[in-house]
Amino acid sequence: MLVRLAVLGALAFLPGCTTPGSAGAVAAECQVAVDLSPQIQADNVNGAVAGKDCKAAFKAAGIAMLGLKKPADKDAPGLTHEIQFKTIVFSDADHAKVTLDYACNVWCGHGEEIIAERKNGRWMIASRKQTWIS
């Protein structure tokens, strides 16, 4: 399993390993973000995923987006935990490398790299590591 994830990580940076720039690619990126958002446990996401508009997909899935903020912490009213999906790179139809920023308003934040795998039609987190922290 670790070898497979290492190969996937290496393949994600090779030319030709991203999905083509078509309407299908946008839908695929949106679906990855929609499936992973509940697993990441933030109260809202930015509707732009890797530079593409995924607001309709988030809305259809009932996932709160920026502008629909809610208090996340009784000790810090108004503090929200927001996800910004930065890149989604596909190595094949069932594997993707996702980078994101996770912000706790102005008080904290961190970056993550996620290896996602599609199982039974849903994207799941196969591995997750923190890349920066503030």
Average predicted confidence (pLDDT) for the chain: 77
Give pairs for 102-105: CB < 8 Å, separation 24+. Answer: 102/40, 102/42, 104/72, 104/79, 104/80, 105/76, 105/78, 105/79, 105/80
Handedness of CA 106, 70, 110, 9 (dihedral sign): negative
Which token pair is 7? 């190969």
85 pLDDT more than 60? yes
Specify the pairing of strand 81-92 against strand 44-45.
parallel
Domain extent, residue 96, equals 2-133
Average pLDDT in the 37-58 region? 88
**Contact in structure between 28 and 36 (CB atoms under 8 Å):** no
1-5, 21-25, 50-54, 72-76: least confidently modelled range: 1-5
Number of domains in the chain: 1
Decide: residue 128, CB within 10 A, 0-12 exposed, 13-18 middle, 19+ buried.
middle
Phi (first) and psi of residue 109, to 5 degrees: 180, 165
Helices H / strands E in the chain, number of each: 3, 7
- Can you give the pLDDT at residue 65? 84
Predicted local confidence at residue 81, as pLDDT: 75
Whether the pLDDT of residue 105 is over 90: the answer is no
